[in-house]
Structure formats: structure tokens, C-alpha cells
Chains A and B, each alone.
Chain A
Amino acid sequence: MDGYALIVSAFAGSTSFITFYNVFFELDKPLVYKFGGWVPPVGIIYEVDKLNALLGFVTGAIMFLIVLYSVSYMKGKRIEWYYTMLLGLETGLLGVIYTGDAFNLFVMVEVTSISLYGLIAFYRTEGEAVDSALKYALLGAVSTTFYFIALIFYYGSFGTLNMADLAAKAGGLSFPFSGAPYGNIFLGTAIALALTLWAFTFKAALFPNHFWLPDAHSAAPAPVSAALSGLVVSNGAYVVIRYLYTIFGNATISTGPLSLFSPNSLTAFPAAFFESIKLALLVLGSVSAIVASLLMVLQKNVKRVIAYSTIFHLGLVFMGIGLGTDLALKAAIFHLINHAVAKSLLFISAGILTAYAGSRSIQKLGGIGRYAPITFSTFLIGVLAIEGLPPFNGFMSKFMLYTAFLEAGLAPLVVIIIVSTAIAMMAWMKVLFSAWLKKPEKPFENVKESSVVLVPIILAVLCIALGLLAPVIDKSILTPTVGSLRDVNSYIQSALNAIGSAGG
């Protein structure tokens, strides 16, 4: 069973790499795939531009590493259920990233969520696991229902559910097969966008919608926590970026969030609405960062510390999205990638350490570092990378974020980020200190570092490599990504070309 899962995820990882390579270095416009040969907007298409390709590659690669890790970490128990749900999770994640149709997005989000409900409750004899899975399931179902209502409004006012078509109609162009918009497009757009944002900030755990995250991430098995923190929340952020900057992209030419308060730049309703949404995301991102870092210090369970750190970093990503300049978007996307790598590393090595110690509490983990030095050093590298010390990858993306804020003239936000990083550092010091230097309460037995430590080492090397290669990555990958994000017209044009060509 695990061999099969390994082969399938390796296949998925390599095809996502091929897609990434194709879209970036061979084609120069988005790649379109029509399902069943039906042309958009009658049928569903997958439209892969540079942002999709990049995030898809990251998802495919990290999921492969997670499956590799699960092979040695999860033995016995009910692994046939585990691998089924894990592969379902990967399907849903890749589907959300690659899809070009709003309703298909809903379906794929539900696929992801259903696999997650099962995976979080995997240790079904622990009350905490079932409890957090239930809470996540109820709230998740509510949020995806709200997204469904938003889809009704999209269809009602625009007459179509295809993302390229929505982008065309929002920009005033026309698209074949679906007619002209119906009714008050402004009202329809506004309600639908409000509900969409609410639903996906739930998935991405932005400040008032973050309450489910610590429970769910700490009760799930370690590989699932890695996938949750690294990939699922990145999905939520990706959907927000896609809606704000591609579908309604022509209306969100940003001159910074403070433009809301200068009347000349707002000539029409859409601009005012989007600027205030971006300002709200900026504010909520900052509050997320501060609250999460303050709460991190109080936790007694090491996986909850890491989970609150996820909320903190997603707050930073949303601050970048809310600012909206090119540099801020580059920083946000790079931070999503770095966070995925470093957070998976943290959860994976913490999983190994908690398996050795038999408990997740920081107190009981005392002294484990001396018994498992390789695992502990990968955990240390993960902490240094995520906290943003040079030359690791976290520093590079945080640096771009600071630069974006300084350019926009918002120096106090830089101070907020620095202060919350300092507070979060306190919590990490607590964990590291306890794991390294305390004498264990009773000596740990049968701690031998076997092949399970291979994946953390790969991820640690990746953290360092991403940091050292950051200038190259910035020039050759990130700048084209943001360029393609701003280039809504080629997104629409590729879908139109797909109608023109016959066959699949």
C-alpha cells in the first residue's frame, strides 16, 4: 500500500515539475487543458499560468517528500485508510491550484476538506483529535457553503463560472458562448467577492478565522500536520490572490493601501471596494502576526507552538497580498514557498522527536536533543529558517517584505513584524532550550535514528539552498510570476485560443 502511494505521488511530483518547466521556460503564456474536449466556458478547463505552475510544483514536490516520510513514520495501524485519504488530499490540493473554473474550485476544495476531516481524526482514540476534526468539519462545511452561495451570485450576475470568462467580463471584454452580464453587476460582484474572501480566509487561517488551526494541526499525525501547515493554508492564500489579482485584476491597479484616503484615485466603485478589501487584509494580517506570536509563548505542546507560528506567517503573507505592489506580491509568493518548506521540516522533525519521547509536551521532550542529534539539528535549522536569520530562506522572503513596506512608506509595519518575530523567537527558544539542555526525566529508550531522518535532512538542505539561491530565484522565477499575474489579458487570451483550436 505504501509502495503504491509512493509511486503515485512520485508521478504527481514529476508531472508537476514538467508542467512548471514547460510553462516557465518553454511556453510564455498559460497552458490550457480542456476536460473532455469541451470548450470553455461550456466545459471545465485547467489553466496553468506561472503562478499555478510554481505553486503546483511546490505542492507536488513537498507531498512526495511527505509520502516518503509517511512510509517510515506510519507503520501498522490502518494505513490503507491513511494513504487513501493522503492521496485524496494531494488530488484536492493540485486540483485547487491548477483549475481554471470557479465551480471546479469548489469541488476540489471539498475534496481537500473531506480528506482532511478524516486525516485529522486519524488517531481516533484520542479525544482531542476527534474533537478538533469535528470543529474543523463543521466550520469548514459552513465556509464552503458560503463559497457556494458566492458561486450562485457569480453565475447570476456574470452568466458564467469560468475564471478567464469572469476576468474578461469584469474587465468589460466579451467572451463567446456566454451572454452579457445580467442585473447589477456591482452588487453581485461585491456580495460574491465578500463571501469568497471570507471562505478562503477561513481556509488560510487569517485572524478572526484562525481558531480552528491550533487544535487541528496539533492533533493530526505529523505528516498530515506538515501538509496542512505547508500546503493547505497556502492554497487558501493562492485562491485569494487569484480572485483579487487575476479575475478582478483590471480593477486593482494598486497605488498602495493609503490611496483609499485620497479621493482622486478612486474613480469608480470597483477601485474603492478593492482598495478597502486590501487595506482590511493588511490590517488583519498585522493583527494575526501579533496575536499569534504572543500566544505562541504560552503553549505547552510543541505542535501547538508550530501551529501558531503558521498563523503568524500567513499573517505576513496576507500583509504582502494586502499591500499589492509588485514587490509585495513577489515577497508574499516567495514567503509562501519558503514557509511551506520550512514548516514541513519543522512538523516532520517534531513528529520524529515526539515519537521518540512518546509525548507532545515541551516538558516531556526535555533532553531529547542529545539522544537524537541529527533530528534535533534539522529541527534547529527549521526554526532558524522560519524565524528569518540570514542566510536561510526565511530571511530572504522577509527581507523582500520589509523592502516592500519601506518603499510604500509604512515603516511602523516593519517594526510590527520585527517585534512579533522577536516574541515568536522567545517561544522557539523555549522549545529548543528544553529539547537540548534539560536532563530527561527518565532516560529515553530505543531511540535509534533510522531512515526516517532522511526526509528532514532533504528539507533542511532545501532551506539552505533556497536561501543561498535567492537572488537567482528572484530574477528568474519570481519576477516572471508576478509579471504573469498582472498580465490578465494573456490569461483570457489563452482561454480564447483554446476555443479556437479543435479537439483536446
Chain B
Amino acid sequence: MDLTLTLYQTLYASGAMLLIALIVLLIYSKSPGSKKQQDEGDKNEAYLGGEEHPYDQESVGSTNFFWSIVNQSLKNVYKKIIDRFHTYALDSWLLYMSVWLAFLIILLIILVGIL
């Protein structure tokens, strides 16, 4: 079946990708600049442009990792979802679940009524 053929093609494409990754690794290992270096002075410290290295703030905090997207672009979407809709209060759960049940029952009433 043609779908099976496509799945085989995926394997070929991924194989090509990995083959080239191996070629690049080969280039890296053969190049003269990648030989072992001596650790002298502070050559191996992270380059921070003269700043001190605050080890505990080494990177962005996990809650702010996608700051711009969550707090700005999608802020309206999130406000709607969390404040109006997905509050963690139990009675609103029951409300939505009963809405789905009511929808199913109304659907059948309408359809039985028509036919």
C-alpha cells in the first residue's frame, strides 16, 4: 500500500540525515583545530565579556523561558482560558461536564423528534 511506501521513505530520509551527521563528525575529528588543548589560565572559563559568572543565574528561569509568547502575544488567549474558563474550581467542572451530557441528550431528542 502506498502508505507503507511513505513510511519506508521516512526511514530513507532519516538515514540520509544521520549519514550526513556522521560526515560532519568525521570532518570535526580530522580537522587540526580540534585536538586536545591544555587548560591554562582562565582560557576555559565561559566568555562573558568581562562580567562575573553568577553560577546560580546561569540561564533563564524556567517560568520565564517563553516570556514574550506567554505574557504578551498570547496573553489574551490565556486570560480567557484561565480566568473565565479553566479555573480550578470544582463547580465549574461539573458545569462543563453537564453541558456535554445535555448536548448529547438534546441531540438525540432533536433527531428522534425529526424522524
Q: Which A residues form the contact surface with B (CB < 8 A)? A: 135, 139, 146, 186-187, 190-191, 193-195, 197-198, 201-202, 207-209, 211-212, 268-269, 272-273, 276-277, 280, 284, 291, 294-295, 297-298, 300, 327, 362-363, 366, 390-391, 395-396, 399-400, 403, 426, 429-431, 433-434, 437-439, 441, 468, 470-471, 474-475, 479
**B4–A187 touching, CB < 8 Å:** no
Central interface residue in B7, B56, B58, B69, by most chain A CB within 10 Å: B7
Cα–Cα, bound, A162→B66 (Å): 53
**B66–A430 touching, CB < 8 Å:** yes
**A209–B97 touching, CB < 8 Å:** yes
Central interface residue in B58, B62, B70, B112, by most chain A CB within 10 Å: B62
**B3–A400 touching, CB < 8 Å:** yes
**A294–B101 touching, CB < 8 Å:** no
Residues of A within 8 A of B97 (CB): 139, 202, 208-209, 211
Listed A/B pairs (8) with beta-carbon separation below 8 Å: A208-B99, A211-B93, A291-B86, A295-B86, A327-B3, A395-B10, A438-B58, A470-B10
Cα–Cα, bound, A437→B108 (Å): 55
- Additional 12 contacts, C-beta under 8 A, given A208-B100, A268-B115, A431-B62: A139-B97, A187-B108, A202-B97, A209-B100, A366-B62, A391-B11, A429-B65, A430-B66, A433-B65, A439-B56, A471-B8, A474-B3
Looking at the assembled complex, report how far the CB atom of A198 sits from the nearest CB atom of chain B, in whole angstroms: 5
Cα–Cα, bound, A112→B25 (Å): 51
- Smallest CB-CB separation from B64: which chain A residue? A430
Q: A211-B96, A363-B62, A438-B62 are in contact. Are A197 and B104 (CB under 8 A)?
A: yes
Residues of A within 8 A of B65 (CB): 426, 429-430, 433
**B10–A294 touching, CB < 8 Å:** no
Q: A198-B101, A198-B104 are in contact. Are A396 and B10 (CB under 8 A)?
A: yes
**A291–B81 touching, CB < 8 Å:** yes
- Smallest CB-CB separation from A468: which chain B residue? B11
B47 at the interface (CB under 8 A from A): no
Looking at the assembled complex, report how far the CB atom of B2 sits from the nearest CB atom of chain A, in whole angstroms: 10
Looking at the assembled complex, report how far the CB atom of B4 sits from the nearest CB atom of chain A, in whole angstroms: 5
Looking at the assembled complex, report how far the CB atom of B9 sits from the nearest CB atom of chain A, in whole angstroms: 10
Binary flags per residue of B74-94, CB closer than 8 Å to A gives 1, else 0: 100110011000100010010
B48 at the interface (CB under 8 A from A): no
B23 at the interface (CB under 8 A from A): no
**B62–A194 touching, CB < 8 Å:** no
**B56–A297 touching, CB < 8 Å:** no
Chain B interface helix/strand/loop/mixed: helix
**A198–B62 touching, CB < 8 Å:** no
Q: Which of B3, B74, B82 is close to A403, meaning CB atoms less than 8 Å apart?
A: B3
Residues of B within 8 A of A429 (CB): 65
Cα–Cα, bound, A474→B11 (Å): 14
B13 at the interface (CB under 8 A from A): yes
Residues of B within 8 A of A297 (CB): 66, 70
Residues of B within 8 A of A395 (CB): 10
Central interface residue in A201, A208, A403, by most chain B CB within 10 Å: A208
Residues of B within 8 A of A366 (CB): 62
Residues of A within 8 A of B111 (CB): 190, 269, 272-273, 276
Residues of B within 8 A of A146 (CB): 101
Binary flags per residue of B36-76, CB closer than 8 Å to A gives 1, else 0: 00000000000000000001101101110110011000100
Cα–Cα, bound, A198→B115 (Å): 23
- Smallest CB-CB separation from B1: which chain A residue? A475
Residues of B within 8 A of A277 (CB): 104, 107
B28 at the interface (CB under 8 A from A): no
**A135–B90 touching, CB < 8 Å:** yes
**B112–A426 touching, CB < 8 Å:** no
**B112–A190 touching, CB < 8 Å:** yes
Pairs of residues from A and B, 10 with the lowest C-beta to C-beta distance, nearest first: A190-B108, A194-B104, A471-B7, A208-B96, A211-B93, A434-B62, A391-B14, A208-B100, A269-B115, A471-B4
**A194–B7 touching, CB < 8 Å:** no
